[in-house]
A = this chain, B = another copy of it.
Amino acid sequence: MYTEIDTPSVLIDTKIAKSNINKYQTYCTEKGLNLRPHIKTHKLPYFANLQIDAGAVGITCQKVSEAEAMLDGDLDHSIKNILLSYNILGRSKLERLKRISERVKLSVVADNIECIEGLSKAFSSLNNELPILIEVDTGALRCGVVTPQEACDLALRVSELPGVSFAGLMTYPPKSNAATTMNNFFNEAKNLIELSGLKIQTISIGGSPQMWKAHEVPLATEYRVGTYIYNDKSLIVSGACTIEDCALTILSTVISTPTPNRAVIDAGSKVLTSDLMGLKGHGLIVGYPDLTISQLSEEHGCITSSTPTNLRVGQRIQVIPNHACVVSNMVDHVVFIKDDQVLTQQQVVARGKVW
């Protein structure tokens, strides 16, 4: 029984994860969208292989070290196509990027000329050009050029430089009005870029909260999505999934009940993280919808209630976290379960990869 293993442990229900993979692949296939899962949620070659088997065109990584870890752990040799959705700068990272490009079909994103010139210089000595997608800001206020004209200017610059080729546009969507702002930006940018004589092969969008609305952006050719494989409380709240679709839970033990209305579990911010995602409290306790983890220390999760918690010392509970991706990053291993049995322990090979 998985409920007997040591705590805190991060459990992955493999039946649910596989169902999530297949459900969203079916949606993308039906809508004619290429699916390119982001590995940041699971950080496991095992699941990347399953995502590719199901029909994904490749994977998305953000850091060079994530791509390296996924390729090194790819026992199936099925990872043949990687998008690195991050501005890569600096000699050491560019050298590693070149080595990755010798192992798979690699593309990257860039949103500034310094980055593009660095990529061009590094890749001009190779035979194959590195495809670059220009990252555009459609309202998320993170990376990305903020006007279609800038996107066009950078696309032209890429097309002129040796070692690199212009492949399209990429955005990380805003939280609200995503389809409208993306459609406006892409329509205008496409006109400008095509008028300048370039072709756009790929328009890559993504984000789990809006994943079932991907078809509302007709110019998009590709969808990047990470959390959909495990789901979490933030996606339940945004309506993208139900509790039953959540594959990742934290098995935890009640270690203290100082008062009838307060209980403390052995999972704190070192497992759940402090990510609130705009929510109240830290996660959802399975079977106890009225209880909230109201306060986290590194090793303590405090459950407070206006009525008795009815939890007792030694009791095991399962928590669906606010944000699944960051939980994967906190542990060296996750535990695969199926029904009530432990299947295996999996090393999270891309954990902590920030370079």
Which residues of A pack against B, CB within 8 Å? 6-8, 40, 62-63, 86-87, 89-90, 92-93, 111-112, 114-115, 137, 141-146, 253, 255-259, 262, 264, 266-267, 269-271, 273-276, 295, 297-300, 302, 304, 312-314, 325-326, 329-332, 352, 354-355
Contacts and interface: CB of A to CB of B under 8 A. Distances in A.
Nearest to A64: B6
B329 A354 contact: no
How many copies of the shown chain assemble into the complex?
A: 2
A85 B256 CA distance: 13
A332 B65 CA distance: 13
A111 B143 contact: no
Given A258-B145, A352-B332, A273 B271 contact: no
A146 B329 contact: no
Given A274-B275, A314-B114, A355-B6, A298 B62 contact: yes
A8 B353 CA distance: 10
Contact of A253 (B63, B89, B137, B145): B89
B274 A313 contact: no
A145 B144 CA distance: 53
A113 B223 CA distance: 54
Nearest to A136: B258
B40 A298 contact: yes
A246 to B, nearest CB: 19
A6 B355 CA distance: 7
A352 B89 CA distance: 29
Contact of A325 (B62, B112, B145, B298): B298
Contacts of A332: 352
A313 B113 CA distance: 9
Nearest to A96: B6
Given A142-B302, A258-B111, A329-B298, A90 B276 contact: no
Chain A interface secondary structure, helix, strand, loop or mixed? loop
> Nearest 4 CB-CB pairs, A to B?
A274-B274, A114-B313, A87-B255, A143-B256
B92 A6 contact: yes
Given A269-B275, A299-B62, A256 B314 contact: no
Nearest to A312: B114
B112 A299 contact: no
A112 B114 CA distance: 60
A287 to B, nearest CB: 20
A299 B61 CA distance: 11
Contacts of A86: 255, 299
Nearest to A10: B354
A256 B62 contact: no
Task: Name which of A255, A267, A273, A295 has the most chain B CB atoms within 10 A of its CB.
Answer: A255
Contacts of A270: 326, 329, 352, 354
A143 B255 contact: yes
Contact of A298 (B92, B137, B274, B326): B326
Contacts of A90: 6-7, 253, 314
Contacts of A262: 141
B352 A111 contact: no
Nearest to A5: B92
B302 A330 contact: no
Contacts of A255: 86-87, 89, 115, 143
A141 B355 contact: no
Contacts of A354: 8, 266-267, 270-271, 299, 330-331
